[in-house]
Amino acid sequence: MATDYYAVLGVQRDASQDEIKKAFRRLARELHPDVNPDPKTQDRFKEINTAYEVLSDPQKKQVYDLGGDPASAAGGGGAGGFGAGFGNFSDIMDAFFGTASQRGPRSRTRRGQDAMIRLDVELDEAAFGTTKDIQVDTATVCGSCSGEGAAPGTSAQTCDMCRGRGEVSQVTRSFLGQVMTSRPCPQCQGFGTVVPTPCPECAGDGRIRSRRTLTVKVPAGVDNGTRIQLAGEGEVGPGGGPAGDLYVEIHEASHPTFQRRGDDLHCTVTIPMTAAALGTKVPLETLDGKEEVDIRPGTQSGQSIPLHERGVTHLRGGGRGQLIVHVEVLTPTKMDTEQEELLRQLSQMRGEERPEGHFQPGQQGLFSRLKDAFNGR
């Protein structure tokens, strides 16, 4: 009775090539002579190797399924020797190490790398968005050879060493029998073709470096470190392959008046003691134009005055942040005799000639915190 190769590998007769390969790898790991030297196991290993040789070859599998002798199929060989099935040696190696040889020639065309460029913007440009032209120096397709790498009027030729396969094979003998190994062709570097006359413009790479101008739309609300992706505007790949992406990284310049914290803007206004006591209006040049900040009577040093919807536009979502004005009250340090007399009269009228003051716990200085730490407090 003929051997049932499907039963040998433990798969159904309608199993796919992927299922057949997985079953073979699983059994190969279990029954390989290096793992299990039992003679009976070795016979079983020969059997699964023979079954896989037949079922993994479409021509042999078709002959076998029709009831014929798979050894008579095109490309067939004996199916009974220990090393007979080791044309699939890479599958056994893959069973143990999880790797398989990459068959066929490599493509000369590959995707290019991503590129990044820094773009300086002002605060108002980051707040409201802008459009800027940038110059980019990247690899582009060679205009002389159109990315082919060969000089005009010539073309790549099939490698005569590997005959276009991109790899060369070598048969050696080992304890497993005859083993065929493959490696990239040293003459064509695995491409399967050679370029006898490289393009003089790009030296056969299919690309050259050139400078070009791009228009970048900067959305409102960007911040330091924000990256804008321009798909397909990066480096062109070898062989004229598809370009990578270009990332534009935003760098926001410092502003003479405002400090940005998130989408809020902060600034400090210094006013004299009398203005804080009586109240006043201070002109301020905001991102939206000149406005007056209302300093109410009795404003204390350190108070904050928020101006709503005067900050940076939210990058995601509508609305804007706040402009927060911090008030600093300036105490006079130099006064003439008349001014001192007026202040004394004011302090007498307010009963503030000898204020008691109100003390409360404050923040410790660095030296005090270190001293308490050493003292175990």
The three-state DSSP-derived secondary structure of 181-209 is EEEECCCCCCCCEECCCECCCCCCCCEEE
**What does the block give as tokens for 262?**
């998130």
Work out the number of other CB atoms within 10 angstroms of the CB of residue 219: 15
Domains of the chain: 5-97 (1.10.287.110), 104-150+203-253 (2.60.260.20), 157-194 (no CATH), 259-350 (2.60.260.20)
**CA dist., res. 284 & res. 199, Å (int):** 63
pLDDT at 44: 82
pLDDT at 362: 60
Sorted by sequence, the CB contacts under 8 Å of residue 321 that are 6+ apart come out as: 262, 263, 264, 265, 311, 312, 314
Feature table: binding site: 142, 145, 159, 162, 185, 188, 199, 202
**CA dist., res. 183 & res. 170, Å (int):** 8
Instruction: Compute CA 63 distance to the chain's CA centroid, rounded to the nearest angstrom.
Output: 50
Contact 321, 263 (CB under 8 A): yes
Sorted by sequence, the CB contacts under 8 Å of residue 361 that are 6+ apart come out as: none
pLDDT at 133: 96
pLDDT at 255: 96
**CA dist., res. 301 & res. 306, Å (int):** 15
**CA dist., res. 189 & res. 162, Å (int):** 10
pLDDT at 107: 85
Feature table: binding site for Zn(2+): 142, 145, 159, 162, 185, 188, 199, 202
**For residue 350, which amino acid is it?**
R
In tens digits, the chain (377 residues) has pLDDT values of: 467 888 888 888 888 888 888 888 888 777 766 666 677 777 788 888 888 888 888 888 887 887 777 765 544 443 333 333 443 444 554 544 444 444 568 888 889 999 999 999 999 999 999 999 999 999 999 999 988 899 999 999 999 988 888 888 877 766 656 666 788 899 998 899 999 999 999 999 999 999 999 999 999 999 999 999 999 999 999 888 899 999 999 999 999 999 999 999 999 999 999 999 999 999 999 999 999 999 999 999 999 999 999 999 999 888 999 999 999 999 998 899 998 899 889 888 888 888 777 776 765 554 455 455 455 55
**CA dist., res. 377 & res. 373, Å (int):** 6
DSSP 80: S
Sorted by sequence, the CB contacts under 8 Å of residue 114 that are 6+ apart come out as: 234, 235, 244, 245, 246, 247
**CA dist., res. 294 & res. 282, Å (int):** 7
Q: Which residue has the tokens 């392959």?
A: 241
Residue 180: name the closest of 167, 161, 190, 192 by CA.
167
The Cα-based distances of 2 to 68, 69, 79, 308 in angstroms read 10, 10, 13, 88
What's the full length of the chain, in residues? Answer: 377
pLDDT at 103: 58
pLDDT at 18: 84
Q: Which residue has the tokens 């790899």?
A: 167
Helices 17-31 and 89-97 pack at an angle, to 10 degrees, of 70
**CA dist., res. 87 & res. 89, Å (int):** 6
Contact 11, 51 (CB under 8 A): no
pLDDT at 267: 97
Helices (H) and strands (E) in the chain, counts: 9, 15
pLDDT at 5: 87
Alpha helices, DSSP H only, in 135-235?
none
**H or E element in which residue 22 lies:** helix 17-31
